[in-house]
Amino acid sequence: MNVEKNIPLESIALPTPPVIGVKILEAVKSENQSSEGLARIISSDPALTVKILQVANSSFYALPTKVDSIPKAITVLGTNTLKNIALSFVIAKEFNGDDDDGFKFNFFWRRSITAAAGAECLASMLDLNIEDLFAAALLQDIGIVIMYLLDKGKWVGALEDKKKDRIPSCEAEQRHFGFDHQQLGAQTLEAWGLSENIHLPIRYHHCVDDPPATHGTQAHLLMLSDMISSVYHGSHSEEKIEEIKKHLATSHGIDPMQVVEMVDTVAAKSIEIMSLFDIPEKDMKPFSQILQEANAELGRLNMSYEQLLKEYRQAKEKAERLAADLQKANDKLQDLAYKDGLTGLNNHRQFQELMDKELSRSIRYKRPFSLILFDLDHFKKINDTYGHPAGDFVLKKVSRVLGEAIRASDTASRYGGEEFAMILPETDLKGAAILCERVRKSIADQKMTTGDVDIRVTVSCGFTSYNTDFPKTTKAELIAAADKALYNSKRSGRNRIGFIRTPE
């Protein structure tokens, strides 16, 4: 995954940073700037001031004396720490909203706060003092919210692909957006002026083998903090705990019991921080308690291995049926979008897209292709004489002849009304003329019987070919040439073929 590649931000309507956030960043941007400016900005927002003092006096920092003012908080905690606390509150407030069918904001921030608490608990256990770690962990998935706000349809499509195809979020996002939430979040925070210690680990928190050496530890901690958060807010918690144990045993030699104790402390810290962010905790409990309750419930239910296996198989079969039904529904929608309802051939919209693809391929590889347009002769007379059901019958019979005449690489489309089109890759004028005449003769020889009526029809054909000596030939010019050749066939007496070279 190439996360080092930058997104062209000028092509994306990125959200602007909150006004007070800009002021906070400006206040600390210069090394010569005193802490008074930062204190003045924060103090101008009473609600933000209250929240920061609550954090400073919480068990998260466990300070020996009470902090009762922003200047004192800066003195005790430091300018950078206070800046990150303030920015965390400001950004979380700006990118929050009421839960709806598309995005669960409260769930997102519960998960983010748990990851931030997890990162701090990890650092404490590993005896690491890493600047900006809390803010980086809290904002590591901010790109997900921005994606949702940029294009809800694409975001929902990526979420559906992730579930249906069982692929990582980043891969699904790449399919729909061309980039993932790591890249978008990191570049947005960088554009807003946040520190490298925040945006660089975020860029690599799902690709921990790729980050620059200066921020590899931070990226690894973010990845582990995300796993800890998913223990509390995702599925397969026991499997994730085992994975966390394995990571920490391999990289730092941490005892598995110590890991479980650390994960348990994350719950209490998360609950405290959620209350400060006004995010409902949803009865969050330590993992060990959750596991005990689950085991007790399992014992009460007295579910045997065979019962569990049976239920698993049933659930799996149901999921597979649902996936198959979804695929069928998608295929049906695809047909409705690109197939002609009467004849089953490609419709006009699909024809235009196929022309674009074939012309692009022919230009790239300098290979010919041909376009044929067919028009039923005197078709209005058939409708007027025998009625529209008979006309529909004729259109379907002609479509069948066209479908049987083409190769696997060719395509046949209903161009509109009684007009049809064929696209013939790797075919020059001579090859197109042979196929065109074969189709004309085959249709003319057909006796189409519906009810007690025998109907005979003929077609006029016009065709042209893409000339590799003229690579600037456009789709419109090719269609116009085939259409003119068709008109000439009609004018010359119908039931015949004609061609025009492109360009003339």
Is 112 part of any domain? yes
| Mean pLDDT computed over 183-206 | 86
- Chain-centroid distance, C-alpha 444: 51
464 forms beta bridges with 371
Res. 57 pLDDT band, cuts 50 70 90? confident
Cα separations in angstroms, 329 against 269, 316, 319, 490: 46, 20, 15, 42
Residues 242 and 157 in one domain: yes
Residue 293: predicted pLDDT: 59
38 with 161, same domain?
no
Predicted pLDDT at 348: 94
Contacts of residue 389, Cβ cutoff 8 Å, sequence gap at least 6: 450
Separation in Å, CA 85 to CA 73, 138, 188 = 11, 10, 19
User: Is 83 inside a domain boundary?
Assistant: yes
Query: What single letter denotes the amino acid at residue 361?
Result: R
- Claim to verify: residue 391 and residue 456 sit in the same structural domain: yes
Model pLDDT, residue 135 = 84
The reply to whether 269 and 285 lie within a common domain is yes
Residues 137 and 147 in one domain: yes
- Which CATH number does the domain housing residue 189 bear? 1.10.3210.10
Q: What CATH number has the domain bearing residue 384?
A: 3.30.70.270
Q: Is residue 11 part of a domain?
A: no
Closest alpha carbon to 145 in 200, 93, 199, 108: 108
Same domain, 165 and 187: yes
Encoded tokens for 59? 């068990």
62, 116: one domain: no
On whether both 391 and 485 belong to a single domain, the answer is yes
Structural domain includes residue 220: yes
Specify which residues 461 forms β-bridges with.
Answer: 374, 497
In this prediction, residue 85 carries a pLDDT of 78
Instruction: Provide mean pLDDT across the span 416-424.
Output: 95
Q: Is 418 one of the catalytic residues?
A: yes
d(CA 481, CA 468) in angstroms, rounded, equals: 16
Is residue 76 scored above 60 in pLDDT?
yes
Residue length of the chain = 504
Alpha-carbon span 166 to 181, nearest angstrom:
18
Residues 419 and 374 sit within 8 Å (Cβ to Cβ): yes
Q: What percent of the chain has pLDDT over 90?
A: 30
Domain boundary among 94, 123, 149: 94
Report, in this order, helix, strand and coil percent for the chain, each rounded to 5: 65, 10, 30
| Cα gap 423→421, rounded to integer Å | 7
Kindly report, residue by residue over 103-137, the tens digit of the pLDDT. 888 888 888 888 888 888 898 898 988 888 888 88
Q: Under a CB-based contact definition with an 8 Å cutoff, are residues 114 and 266 in contact?
A: yes
* Residue of 418, 426, 437, 504 marked catalytic: 418
- Coil, strand, or helix at residue 283? coil
Assigned token pair, 202:
């975020």
The pLDDT tens digits of the residues spanning 247-290 come to 889 888 989 889 888 888 888 888 888 887 777 777 677 766 76
Contact 443, 458 (CB under 8 A): yes
Measuring CA to CA, how many Å separate 137 from each of 6, 117, 118, 223, 269? 21, 8, 8, 9, 14
Element (DSSP H or E) covering residue 450:
strand 448-450
Range of the domain at 309: 303-338
| Among candidate residues 26, 47, 49, the one with its CA nearest the CA of residue 39 | 49
| Of the residues 41, 70, 94, the one at which a domain ends | 94
Q: What is the phi-psi region of residue 302: left when phi exceeds 0, alpha when psi lies from -120 to 50, beta otherwise?
A: left
Q: Band the pLDDT of 27: cuts 50, 70, 90.
A: low
477-497 confidence digits (pLDDT tens): 999 999 999 999 999 999 999
Which pLDDT value is given to residue 301? 52
Q: Is 482 part of a structural domain of the chain?
A: yes
452 with 321, same domain: the answer is: no
Classified as helix, coil or strand, 163 is helix
pLDDT of 501 above 60: yes
Assess whether 295 and 368 both reside in one domain.
no
Residue 310 inside a domain? The answer is yes
Confidence of residue 500 (pLDDT cuts 50, 70, 90): very high
**Are 291 and 409 contained in the same domain?**
no
- Distance of alpha carbon 119 from alpha carbon 98, whole angstroms: 27
Question: How much is the pLDDT for 33?
Answer: 53
Q: How many C-beta atoms lie closer than 10 Å to residue 483's C-beta?
A: 19
CA distance 375 to 355: 19
Q: Does residue 495 share a domain with residue 378?
A: yes
Question: 422 forms bridges with which residues in the sheet?
Answer: 372, 412
Residue 12 falls inside a structural domain: no
Count of domains for the chain: 4
How open is the CA angle 240-244-246, to the nearest 5 degrees? Answer: 115
**Domain presence at residue 224:** yes
Average pLDDT over residues 31-45: 71
